[in-house]
Structure 1
């Protein structure tokens, strides 16, 4: 049997999915979690073959969790989400996800996807395949997609750590006015209204680590 951990912040969906998987006869759900941070503990304890995980979750999102797992755990990861966002999709694949399936998939399609990924193949929902092909053809990373420079990523990391303008200035050896200019550009490019929102979006997109937030 293929051992599975389900990670989703919606308890009702999680419960229904677990029942569906267990009833299929080929799978055994060995653990569940409501966010990425919980998932890391559950996965370390249960050692699943496959992780089915949502993208957007509180505490620790799916993209950052994928990155953490790929560094330490041998399991394969399928993102199971409602999101068709280019940012979510490309960030998840770039972080190391083995598949990206939309929640409107049929039970049979989900079953096929799990078996494919278990055999070492990648899998994408048909609705998002073109987006990946376009991104690969353009060769763009999530950072490039939003147009952030290397310096702006550095400033963004400082914002995530809660540093003030003066502290960022001292750390990066640039003037406070330059810091303010970078912050303004970051907010514009991420379409964020303030520093907190910019940091949250950056984490969700995989531009910076949740550990910095």
Structure 2
């Protein structure tokens, strides 16, 4: 029996922290390796234990956002997911720009959180869909639909977009790539946010335009 995904939970609200650790412990495939309540705890846990995924609140002594860069400076491979009540676009942007791989709101269910952790542990990124949509709508102008915009996509996101552009539904993309359909939906949310588009059709057009642009170079 494998130990599963090693998770650390850093949050200064004991009841919430205990609830998260208990919920994940009851789901197969997870091992809670540490708990903490401050920025310094987060840095220490990352440096000494290097969990597969570090769940961390924003609002705690020292500030969760302030812990990201020190952690990644020492442990560049550390995967960090912010688990917070903050829906501030500034906080989302700061977390992602600092290197966090996920941004999750505390209202998430335990099963959904487990799925998010699995995807991040596997190398994907995640932002709560409502927040991705808000970031997209708050932009003053859309991102350029050029080959440069496509470079912001991960290899997996590009793979998903190519299949979507070929006309496949999320369900069929999931089957072809051996993913959960929810994971494909999460990828599409990230893709649309990165390309500055509002829907699947515009994302497919952006891919086509970028591909045509490369062909004409």
* Same fold flag (TM > 0.5): yes
3-state SS in 2 of match to 1:79: strand
Indicate the larger mover: 42-51 or 25-34.
42-51
Task: Report the aligned-residue RMSD.
Answer: 1.7
Question: Could you tell me which residue of structure 2 aligns to residue 65 of structure 1?
Answer: 67
**Aligned partners of 1:5 and 1:30 also within 8 Å:** yes
Question: Could you tell me which residue of structure 1 aligns to residue 183 of structure 2?
Answer: none
Question: Could you tell me which residue of structure 2 aligns to residue 14 of structure 1?
Answer: 17
Cα distance in 2 for partners of 1:45, 1:83 equals 28
Cα distance in 2 for partners of 1:44, 1:89 equals 24
- Aligned match for 2:101, one of 93, 98, 103: 98
Deviation digits for residues 81-136 of structure 1, max 9, x if unmatched?
01101121111111111000001111121111001101111111112112333567
Distance of aligned partners of 1:45 and 1:109 in 2 relative to their CA distance in 1, 3 Å threshold: same
Distance of aligned partners of 1:50 and 1:135 in 2 relative to their CA distance in 1, 3 Å threshold: farther
Deviation at 1:45, TM superposition (A): 1.7
TM-score (norm 2): 0.60
**Aligned partners of 1:52 and 1:80 also within 8 Å:** yes
3-state SS in 2 of match to 1:70: helix
After superposition, residues 181-192 of structure 1 pair within 5 angstroms as: none
**Stretches (4+) displaced over 6 A:** none
Gaps of 5+ in 2: 144-217
Gaps of 5+ in 1: 140-213
Cα distance in 2 for partners of 1:138, 1:36 equals 35
Question: Could you tell me which residue of structure 2 aligns to residue 201 of structure 1?
Answer: none
Number of equivalenced pairs: 138
**Aligned partners of 2:24 and 2:30 also within 8 Å:** yes
- Aligned match for 1:51, one of 51, 54, 74: 54
**Aligned partners of 2:47 and 2:71 also within 8 Å:** no
